[in-house]
């Protein structure tokens, strides 16, 4: 049976093609000159350059963290290139009609049509390839509502006060090794601002794509939801199949002002490496949101890709009555390693947080849930509920949980539940006896296991996530 | 329908079925009784292709096809149905989606178009009522938190929806209250159409008052040691199995 299940988990990575696009790629290496180069390329104001340099100097003093339950050879940060842009972007297309058809083609292959009339109904898309934002759809319609949704490089020039006010307030430059690196060299990403009392008229979405070889990708996303506003934001990621490991170190900052609500969903499908564990993306991501009074931030993530995932979307519940949520499915297969979880920091009174983390391990993969729930002294009446479930497929994989709880307020209520289960022979046999083939059976069982998380995803994404799991498990029984 | 010739099967290195032969014609109901550990469940498992059950020799024809060559799911799609003695739970997978996927697979095999979700839901609701399960059970996880009797009724519901050619019921009556027993029996009887065949494994002759068999077999030590009509069940109830061994079976 074990063998049976394991064969099911052999999959082909469907987003693994490489597109031949001519690029301007900076030669490998990192020093102050590179930081200045990126800033100059982006025609940034002086304050932005200073901000980057401060981060760079801090990064030089920092050590790469080693506490996560992942193993990989030392990354040579001098061997990476820190800037790559499709050549055709040099003279900046003003509209879709001017965008290189090869680029549009690539996104179409990924199932992300950028032509507005074909795009997912009611979803505005910002597409980022390597280091540069290619196109943002539905801008006019969003601007009517006062919503700003544009590449962050553009926002730095067009809305400097807004960016300056919030950038680095949730994830400071020196927060951690990868965040500092990102702050120094980020080249693009998305910026979102939802004005007071506004419900964003459509889902916003960014698709990240790494195309070039030996290129690090460092995007920076900043979402500010002003008082009483609402936004739902989706993020998707893919990369070509390559033998070398590629580095992705993103930073996402969310600011939910009083009574605002941000729903942030991710379907991460970076190239996971091949069946022998060769290649794949190293994904070191810092995602954090801050909730002011009565605000709510929900992180929902479905992680199926990357060779290594190091990621802890977190909420700082600063305002009274604010709510933080984390719903996660992390699937690892073959030789993938994931160390992921969340941090819920309760500062305000009556703050509430919910954590539902589902880990699925197959092949020889290792997945770890790492979560911190901290209740500060002033967080009267704070409550947390954590549920952590692991599902093992086969018996050469591993699942680990590292829950940390720190409570400094005796009125806090913290609940933690954890389970580990296996896809059993009996379940598989029942499904097959009813006419389902083994692959369909496993994907159905796994989807059932993830149900509580999938129901938090926006409709189109839930379907996509289900399909993605199915592909990721292909070949795991045979 | 089903022809078993000198079947020998092994589990975990132990020979369980020994030269078992049985012939089931269309429309017939065969009851199989016998002591614990005799190999009754093993027979159902071997016929349905459960991993771990190794056939060492013998032949099985199902609808004139060599059953032992088919994959588990192919046997099922061909119309072989096993109602489990111990149905397992599949948390989070709703009964409805599970049933729809099963029925789609069977219909596809038969060259029939998929039922629309709407038509299927209607059919599933009607069927659940026939086995006295509240349609709310369709929205619950497969067998998730079901009582023993509810699980058994759920098995019968699946059987009714899949419309198999051969139904193997493994102690579907055990753990049922009197009302549920009648529900199950009524379900089976409603499906007897002169073409569909049944193998009913049971320890209690009581079930056979409701589902009247054409043949009763006694399976002991891996083979059929006696075959009779429905009266044999009464005799077994009165005398137990020991006298059969004395007969030198
Ligand atoms: N998976 C298995 N692993 C080990 N032994 C098994 C397995 N399945 C069956 N057996 C053994 O095979 C023999 C026959 O078992 P089987 O379940 O077929 O009996 P049964 O006639 O259905 O009994 P009961 O009336 O108790 O249900 C028993 O000795 C049992 O322990
Ligand atoms: Mg049995």
Q: B230, B244, B87: which is closest to A427 by C-alpha?
A: B87
The residue among B52, B98, B107 with the most chain A CBs within 10 A of its CB, best to mutate, is: B98
pLDDT of A106 strictly over 50: yes
Q: What is the pLDDT of residue B68?
A: 95
**A80 — pLDDT class (breaks 50, 70, 90):** confident
**pLDDT greater at residue A268 or residue B212:** B212
The residue among A8, A329, A435 with the most chain B CBs within 10 A of its CB, best to mutate, is: A435
pTM (predicted TM-score): 0.80
Between the CA of B11 and the centroid of ligand 1 the distance, in Å, is 8
Q: What is the pLDDT of residue A54?
A: 96
CA distance A233 to A124: 10
CA distance A287 to B108: 46
Is residue B93 within 8 angstroms of chain A, CB to CB? yes
Pocket lining: B39 vs ligand 1, CB cutoff 6 Å: yes
Is residue B107 within 8 angstroms of chain A, CB to CB? no
Query: Average of pLDDT values for A264-286?
Result: 80
What interface predicted TM-score (ipTM) does this complex get? 0.95
**B249 — pLDDT class (breaks 50, 70, 90):** very low
**A321 — pLDDT class (breaks 50, 70, 90):** very high
Using the atom order of ligand 1, give the atom closest to the CA of residue B52: 1
pLDDT of A120 strictly over 80: no
**A4 — pLDDT class (breaks 50, 70, 90):** very low
Question: pLDDT tens digit string along A416-440?
Answer: 998 888 888 899 999 999 999 988 8
Pocket lining: B44 vs ligand 1, CB cutoff 6 Å: no
Question: pLDDT tens digit string along A227-242?
Answer: 999 999 988 766 556 5
Mean pLDDT of chain A: 83
Looking at beta carbons, which residues of chain A come within 8 Å of B81? 433
* C-alpha dist (Å) from residue A9 to A13, A163, A244, A392: 12, 44, 22, 12
Q: What is the pLDDT of residue B117?
A: 87
- Please tell me whether residue B179 adopts helix, strand or coil conformation: helix
Q: What is the pLDDT of residue B93?
A: 92
Pocket lining: B247 vs ligand 1, CB cutoff 6 Å: no
Q: What is the pLDDT of residue A243?
A: 62
* Option in B84, B89, B102 nearest A436 (CB): B102
Looking at beta carbons, which residues of chain B come within 8 Å of A431? 90, 98
DSSP state of A372: E
Pocket lining: B42 vs ligand 1, CB cutoff 6 Å: yes
* Option in B73, B81, B141 nearest A448 (CB): B141
User: At a CB cut-off of 8 Å and minimum separation 6, what does B191 contact?
Assistant: B159, B160, B163, B167
What does residue A240 show for φ and ψ, rounded to 5 degrees? -70, 165
CB contact under 8 A, B88 and A448: no
Nearest Cα residue to atom 30 of ligand 1: B37
Question: pLDDT tens digit string along A350-359?
Answer: 999 999 999 9
pLDDT of A117 strictly over 50: no
Looking at beta carbons, which residues of chain A come within 8 Å of B94? 448
CB contact under 8 A, B101 and A425: no
* C-alpha dist (Å) from residue B221 to B7, B37, B39, B46: 13, 8, 7, 16
Indicate if the alpha-carbon torsion angle A209, A212, A214, A215 is positive or negative. negative
Most trustworthy range by pLDDT among A94-103, A239-248, A366-375: A366-375
Indicate if the alpha-carbon torsion angle B191, B192, B197, B200 is positive or negative. positive
User: At a CB cut-off of 8 Å and minimum separation 6, what does A269 contact?
Assistant: A15, A236, A237, A238, A304, A305, A468
**A88 — pLDDT class (breaks 50, 70, 90):** low
CA distance A319 to A322: 6
pLDDT of B224 strictly over 70: yes
Q: CA of B87: which chain A residue's CA is closest?
A: A430
Ligand positioned closest to the Cα atom of B204 = 1
Q: What are the structure tokens assigned to B63, written together?
A: 């609808």
The residue behind tokens 């159905």 is A444
Question: pLDDT tens digit string along B15-60?
Answer: 999 999 999 999 999 999 999 999 999 999 999 999 999 999 999 9
Question: pLDDT tens digit string along B149-203?
Answer: 899 999 999 999 999 999 999 999 888 888 889 989 999 999 999 999 999 999 9
Pocket lining: B38 vs ligand 1, CB cutoff 6 Å: yes
CA distance A297 to A260: 8
Q: What is the pLDDT of residue A10?
A: 44
Residue A349 CB burial class (10 angstroms; 0-12, 13-18, ≥19): middle
Between the CA of B170 and the centroid of ligand 2 the distance, in Å, is 7
Q: What are the structure tokens assigned to B126, written together?
A: 């009607």
A383 to chain B nearest CA, in Å?
26
Strands B53-62 and B65-66: antiparallel
pLDDT of A387 strictly over 90: yes
Cβ atoms of A251 and A221 within 8 Å: the answer is yes
The partner residues of A149 in beta bridges, in order of sequence, read A192
Strands A280-291 and A314-317: parallel
Question: With pLDDT > 70 as the criterion, what percentage of chain A qualifies?
Answer: 77
pLDDT of A11 strictly over 60: no
The residue behind tokens 């006419």 is A435
Q: What is the DSSP string of A279-327?
A: -EEEEEEEEEEEE-TT-EEEEEEEE---SEEEE--EEEE-STT-EEEEE
Most trustworthy range by pLDDT among A87-91, A129-133, A168-172, B115-119: A168-172
CA distance A250 to A282: 11
The residue among B50, B51, B52, B72 with the most chain A CBs within 10 A of its CB, best to mutate, is: B72
Q: CA of A422: which chain B residue's CA is closest?
A: B90
Looking at beta carbons, which residues of chain A come within 8 Å of B76? 432-435
Looking at beta carbons, which residues of chain A come within 8 Å of B158? 434
**A2 — pLDDT class (breaks 50, 70, 90):** very low
CB contact under 8 A, B90 and A430: yes
- The distance in angstroms from the start CA to the end CA of chain A is 9
**A360 — pLDDT class (breaks 50, 70, 90):** confident
Cβ atoms of B233 and B216 within 8 Å: the answer is yes
**A152 — pLDDT class (breaks 50, 70, 90):** very high
Query: Average of pLDDT values for A437-456?
Result: 86
Pocket lining: B246 vs ligand 1, CB cutoff 6 Å: no
């Amino acid at each position: 049976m074990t063998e049976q299940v394991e064969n099911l988990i052999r999959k082909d990575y469907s987003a693994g093609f490489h597109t031949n696009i001519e690029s301007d790629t900076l030669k490998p290496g990192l020093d102050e000159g590179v930081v200045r180069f990126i800033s100059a390329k982006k025609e940034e104001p002086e304050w932005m350059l200073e901000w980057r340099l401060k981060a760079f100097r801090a990064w030089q003093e920092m050590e790469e963290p080693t506490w996560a339950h992942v193993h990989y050879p030392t990354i040579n940060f001098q061997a990476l290139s820190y800037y790559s842009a499709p050549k055709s972007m040099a003279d900046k297309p003003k509209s879709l009609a001017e965008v290189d058809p090869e680029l549009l083609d690539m996104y179409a292959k990924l199932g992300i049509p950028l032509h507005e009339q074909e795009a997912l109904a009611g979803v505005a898309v910002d597409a980022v390839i390597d280091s540069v934002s290619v196109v943002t759809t539905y801008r006019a319609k969003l601007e009517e509502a006062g919503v700003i949704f544009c590449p962050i490089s553009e926002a730095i020039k067009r809305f400097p006060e807004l960016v300056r006010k919030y950038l680095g307030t949730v994830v400071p430059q020196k927060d951690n090794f990868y965040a500092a690196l990102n702050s120094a060299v980020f080249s693009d990403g998305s910026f979102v601002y939802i004005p007071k009392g506004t419900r964003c008229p459509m889902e916003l979405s960014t698709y990240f794509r790494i195309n070039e070889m030996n290129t690090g990708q460092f995007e920076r996303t900043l979402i500010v939801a002003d008082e009483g506003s609402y936004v739902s934001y989706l993020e998707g990621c893919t990369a070509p199949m390559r033998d070398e490991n590629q580095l992705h170190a993103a930073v996402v900052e969310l600011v939910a002002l009083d009574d605002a609500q941000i729903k942030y969903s991710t379907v991460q499908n970076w190239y996971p490496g091949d069946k022998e564990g060769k290649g794949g993306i190293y994904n070191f991501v810092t995602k954090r949101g801050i909730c002011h009074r009565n605000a709510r931030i929900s992180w929902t993530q479905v992680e199926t890709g990357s060779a290594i995932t190091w990621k802890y979307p977190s909420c700082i519940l600063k305002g009274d009555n604010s709510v933080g949520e984390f719903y996660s499915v992390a699937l690892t297969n073959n030789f993938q390693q994931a160390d992921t979880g969340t941090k819920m920091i309760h500062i305000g009174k009556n703050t509430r947080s919910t954590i539902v983390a589902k880990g699925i391990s197959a092949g020889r993969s290792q997945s770890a849930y790492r979560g911190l729930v901290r209740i500060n002294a002033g967080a009267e009446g704070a409550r947390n509920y954590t549920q952590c479930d692991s599902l093992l497929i086969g018996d050469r994989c591993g699942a680990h949980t590292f829950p940390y709880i720190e409570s400094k307020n005796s009125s806090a209520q913290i609940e933690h539940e954890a389970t580990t289960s296996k896809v059993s022979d009996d379940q598989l046999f029942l499904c097959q006896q009813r006419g389902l083939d083994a692959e369909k059976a496993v994907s159905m069982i796994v989807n059932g296991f993830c149900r509580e998380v999938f129901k938090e995803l926006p409709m189109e994404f839930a379907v996509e996530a289900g399909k993605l799991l199915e592909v990721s498990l292909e070949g795991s029984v045979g | 329908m089903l022809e078993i010739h000198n079947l020998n099967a092994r589990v975990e290195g132990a020979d369980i079925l020994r030269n078992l032969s049985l012939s089931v014609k269309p429309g017939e109901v065969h009851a199989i009784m016998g002591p614990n550990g005799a190999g009754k469940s093993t027979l159902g498992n071997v016929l349905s292709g459960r991993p771990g059950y190794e056939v060492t020799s013998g032949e099985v024809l199902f609808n004139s096809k060599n059953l032992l060559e088919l994959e588990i799911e192919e046997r099922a799609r061909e119309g072989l149905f096993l109602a489990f003695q111990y149905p397992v739970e599949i948390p989070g997978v709703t009964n409805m989606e599970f049933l729809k996927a099963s029925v789609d697979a069977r219909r596809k095999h038969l060259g029939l178009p998929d039922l629309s979700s709407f038509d299927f839901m209607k059919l599933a609701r009607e069927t659940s009522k026939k086995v006295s399960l509240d349609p709310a059970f369709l929205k619950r996880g497969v067998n998730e938190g079901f009582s023993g009797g509810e699980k058994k009724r759920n098995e019968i519901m699946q059987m009714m929806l899949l419309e198999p050619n051969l139904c193997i019921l493994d102690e579907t009556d055990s753990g049922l209250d009197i009302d549920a027993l009648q529900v199950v029996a009524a379900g089976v009887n409603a499906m007897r159409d002169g073409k569909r065949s049944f193998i009913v494994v049971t320890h209690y002759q009581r079930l056979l008052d409701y589902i009247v068999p054409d043949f009763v077999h006694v399976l002991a030590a891996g083979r059929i040691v006696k075959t009779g009509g429905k009266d044999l069940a009464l005799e077994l109830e009165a005398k137990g199995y020991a006298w059969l061994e004395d007969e030198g079976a």
